[in-house]
Amino acid sequence: RLSKRLEKVASFITQGVQFADIGSDHAHLPCYVCLHDEDAYAIAGEVNEGPFRSARENISRHGLSDRVDVRLGDGLQVLQNGEVALIVIAGMGGSLIKTILDEGKDRLSNVEKIIAQPNIGEHNVRRWLYSHGYEVTNEVMVAENGHIYEIIVGDKRADGQKLTEKQLLFGPHLLNQKPKLFYQKWTHEYDNRKRTVEQMKNAKSPDDKKIAAFTEELTWIGEVLG
């Protein structure tokens, strides 16, 4: 069974698309998508030998070797430019996702949709998307195993809108809709950051700039929680 988190990611994948799942681990996502959509075709990218091998075994066990192509390599380097229309990068930190996208910019010319599920540091992903011609068109939150995950969907747009610092942090759609999980996540984050600011203030040589930035975020969080 696919995790609730990856099931939600899968729900944003266009029918019949040729897509890449970067950092695919056991290739659970591409197998699930191809088993449910006979017109889909996937490339599973993995940088580590262990997961690469389990991905290959999993794909072959599902009889999908002709529709899920597993490739060993770093980030988007496993792709030819123009090969896929959609990319998924899930289950990593937002800054790693940003680095993978940055280093693979030359592989994106046909990529219309990017689905990212950063575990932390979501703002890095949103900033990358809007500054590279992708508009954040959808965002959802999923709770699983005691963690609240954000799934961010970017669609290529000629005239995507610029996001404010506040929208980058909370997500433009999540900020509008404020689902139940939004309150749960940000109440928890508020307490965490408050503790962090206290610790920073008590440090031997406090970093005033960092303290100011954290304090500003705390104010924003307080405001959005109302």
Residues that bind ligand SAM (CB under 6 A): 6, 22-25, 45-48, 51, 74-75, 90-92, 100
Please list, in sequence order, all residues whose beta carbon lies within 8 angstroms of the beta carbon of residue 220, skipping any fewer than 6 positions away: 166, 169, 170
The contacts found for 34-39 with CB under 8 angstroms, 24 or more apart, are 34/62, 34/64, 34/67, 34/68, 35/62, 35/64, 36/10, 37/13, 39/15
Backbone angles phi, psi at 147, to 5 degrees: -125, 145
Shortest Å, Cβ 74 to ligand SAM:
5
Q: Which is nearer to ligand SAM, 12 or 214 (CB)?
A: 12
Shortest Å, Cβ 78 to ligand SAM:
8
Shortest Å, Cβ 213 to ligand SAM:
28
DSSP 26-75: TTHHHHHHHHH-TT-EEEEEESSHHHHHHHHHHHHHTT-TTTEEEEESSG
Q: Are 218 and 196 in contact (CB under 8 A)?
A: no
The number of CA neighbours under 13 Å toward the Cβ of 179 is 14
Shortest Å, Cβ 46 to ligand SAM:
5
Shortest Å, Cβ 72 to ligand SAM:
9
Q: Which is nearer to ligand SAM, 46 or 135 (CB)?
A: 46
Q: Which is nearer to ligand SAM, 100 or 153 (CB)?
A: 100
Q: Which is nearer to ligand SAM, 70 or 221 (CB)?
A: 70
Q: Which is nearer to ligand SAM, 93 or 200 (CB)?
A: 93
Q: Which is nearer to ligand SAM, 141 or 197 (CB)?
A: 141
Shortest Å, Cβ 101 to ligand SAM:
11
* Distance in angstroms (rounded) separating the CA atoms of residues 184 and 169: 15
